[in-house]
């Protein structure tokens, strides 16, 4: 940088406009570039703010017993894949996404099994920036509650960033005693937040909104505009479907009521919440995917139908389209092609059964032009292959 005739601000502005692949090459130019690209938080935020208008990403999870994670992203019109090389020994059970960064969470305890009284719950957490292939381990999180009984645990997590650029992990925790049949849980909500530099703080906050039992599974949680959202369905104390949100700034919870429609997943489109479901004649009619957008007017929330997409369904092959999410900035729908009869019921080993299902195929569908690109994860699970007849009917 000593011989550079450009000002530092101008160099930073130029670098912040480069695609990720170019940044990876520029890391090798000089120490200033390397430190800027890999460690400067302001540069990372500026780069994300500029590039997010041209790129988008979605997190995919595959595998039954051994989980694998992939970050699909678009660079202009090209679809590419980053394989998250997470060692199986880490037993990562939750991966959350916020503005291109990932939060990986692994329990020290075998939480799917019985916990003995006197145990503490401990979690290992990493923050991953897949675009620069950088992973940072956080100080381990120890729940400040010692189990007074044999128990099992339910967890839900969220990951986001506040307006002052503080990273936060929110944890919804329920501990069920095995002595009373697991009916009355001890509930805790914890916020693990960045204090400065390498320091993190843990504190307990109030949450009277929901139970972990109500929160739905994959493809139903996301970060948007300072809030983390979970889709939930109340069953035991009055039926209802809603979104739970946690504000990363005020650290309070709230809810948004959902319409009575068939919902498969929740996503983001045009900086607002989108519901992806089916508008068929019955619960088993997957011939048409429907997209609803949340609208707000004078503090009132309502849902507006954005579009309907006719699916090409192979009934004989028991094939259906499963909407995963929106490439929200370009207005493209990401769909998983589900071949249900690929499951080999003669194999009791879930890992083997996953292999029998074959290569996962996806469709990226432009909601304006209706152009469809079909692609698949490779058998090595580390790249994607675009089908040669992407625009053809399937």
Q: What is the pLDDT of residues 249-271, one digit of tens each?
A: 999 999 999 988 888 889 888 88
Residues forming beta bridges with residue 81, ordered by sequence position: 72
Q: Considering 240, 258, 276, which residue would you say is the last residue of a domain? A: 258
pLDDT at 19: 72
Q: What is the pTM of this model?
A: 0.79
pLDDT at 317: 56
Q: In what order do the strands lie in the sheet with 151-161?
A: 151-161, 167-177, 185-196, 199-205
Q: What is the pLDDT of residues 67-94, one digit of tens each?
A: 677 777 776 667 777 777 766 555 778 8
Binned at pLDDT 50, 70 and 90, residue 247 comes out as very high
Question: Is the pLDDT score of 330 beyond 80?
Answer: no
Same domain, 21 and 105: no
Same domain, 248 and 136: yes
Q: Considering 258, 289, 321, which residue would you say is the last residue of a domain? A: 258
Question: Is the pLDDT score of 320 beyond 50?
Answer: yes
pLDDT at 380: 63
Reading the block at residue 341, the tokens are: 């009869």
| 323 domain-assigned | no
Same domain, 105 and 195: yes
Binned at pLDDT 50, 70 and 90, residue 218 comes out as low
| 117 domain-assigned | yes
Same domain, 142 and 251: yes
Same domain, 170 and 46: no
Helix (H) or strand (E) holding 80: strand 78-84
| 44 domain-assigned | yes
Same domain, 44 and 93: no
Same domain, 204 and 113: yes
pLDDT at 329: 60
User: What is the rounded average pLDDT of the residues 148-165?
Assistant: 86
Same domain, 40 and 99: no
| 173 domain-assigned | yes
| 216 domain-assigned | yes
Same domain, 139 and 17: no
pLDDT at 75: 64
The number of residues in the chain equals 394
Same domain, 178 and 231: yes
Rounded to whole angstroms, the Cα distance separating 143 from 151 reads 15
Least confident of 122-126, 220-224, 358-362: 358-362
Contacts of residues 8-15 at CB distance under 8 Å and 24 or more positions apart, as own/partner, are: 12/36, 12/43, 12/46, 15/43, 15/47
| 273 domain-assigned | no
Question: Is the pLDDT score of 368 beyond 90?
Answer: no
Question: Is the pLDDT score of 206 beyond 60?
Answer: yes
Same domain, 157 and 252: yes
Binned at pLDDT 50, 70 and 90, residue 294 comes out as very high
Question: Is the pLDDT score of 172 beyond 60?
Answer: yes
Is 95 within 8 Å of 104 (Cβ atoms)?
yes
Of 40 and 347, more confident: 40
Enclosing domain of residue 5: 1-51
User: What is the rounded average pLDDT of the residues 147-170?
Assistant: 87
| 23 domain-assigned | yes
Q: Considering 216, 242, 258, which residue would you say is the last residue of a domain? A: 258
pLDDT at 36: 83
Measure CA 378 to chain center. 21
Average pLDDT, the chain: 77
Least confident of 35-49, 181-195, 211-225: 35-49
pLDDT at 332: 83
Torsion of CA 206, 208, 212, 216, to 10 degrees: -120
Same domain, 106 and 230: yes
Question: Is the pLDDT score of 352 beyond 60?
Answer: no
User: What is the rounded average pLDDT of the residues 351-365?
Assistant: 59
| 61 domain-assigned | no
Domains contained in the chain, number? 2
Question: Is the pLDDT score of 55 beyond 60?
Answer: no
């Amino acid at each position: 940088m000593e011989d550079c005739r450009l000002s530092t601000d101008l160099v930073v502005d130029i670098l912040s406009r480069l695609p990720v692949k170019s940044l990876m090459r520029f890391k090798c130019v000089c120490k200033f570039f390397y430190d800027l690209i890999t460690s400067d938080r302001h540069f990372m935020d500026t780069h994300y703010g500029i590039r997010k208008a041209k790129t988008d990403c979605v997190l995919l999870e595959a595998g039954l017993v051994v989980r694998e994670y992939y970050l699909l992203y678009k660079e202009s019109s090209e679809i590419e894949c980053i394989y998250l090389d997470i060692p199986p020994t880490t037993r990562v059970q939750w991966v959350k996404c916020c503005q291109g960064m990932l939060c990986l969470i692994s329990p020290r305890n075998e939480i799917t099994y019985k916990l003995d009284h006197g145990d503490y719950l401990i979690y290992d957490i990493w923050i991953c920036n897949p675009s620069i292939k950088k992973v940072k381990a956080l100080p381990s999180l120890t729940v400040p509650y010692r189990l007074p009984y044999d128990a099992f645990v339910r967890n839900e997590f969220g990951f986001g960033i506040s307006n002052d650029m503080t990273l936060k992990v929110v944890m919804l925790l329920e501990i069920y005693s095995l002595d009373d049949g697991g009916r009355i849980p001890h509930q805790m909500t914890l916020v693990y937040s960045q204090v400065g530099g390498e320091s993190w703080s843990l504190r307990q906050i109030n949450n009277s909104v929901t139970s972990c039992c109500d929160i739905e599974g994959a493809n139903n949680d996301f970060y948007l505009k300072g809030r983390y959202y979970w889709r939930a369905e109340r069953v035991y104390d009055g039926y209802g479907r809603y979104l739970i949100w946690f504000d990363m700034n005020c650290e309070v919870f709230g809810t948004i009521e959902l319409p009575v429609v068939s919902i498969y997943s929740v996503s983001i489109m045009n900086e607002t919440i989108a519901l992806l479901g089916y508008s068929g004649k019955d619960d088993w009619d997957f011939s048409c995917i429907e997209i609803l957008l949340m609208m707000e007017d004078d503090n009132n929330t309502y849902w507006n139908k954005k579009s309907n997409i006719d699916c090409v369904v192979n009934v004989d092959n028991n094939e259906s389209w499963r909407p995963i999410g929106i490439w929200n900035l370009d207005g493209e729908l990401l769909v998983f092609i589900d071949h249900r009869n690929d499951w080999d019921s003669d194999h009791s080993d879930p890992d083997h059964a996953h292999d029998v299902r074959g290569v996962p195929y996806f469709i990226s569908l432009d909601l304006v032009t209706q152009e469809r690109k079909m692609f698949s994860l490779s058998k090595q699970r580390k790249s994607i292959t675009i089908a040669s007849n992407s625009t053809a009917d399937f």
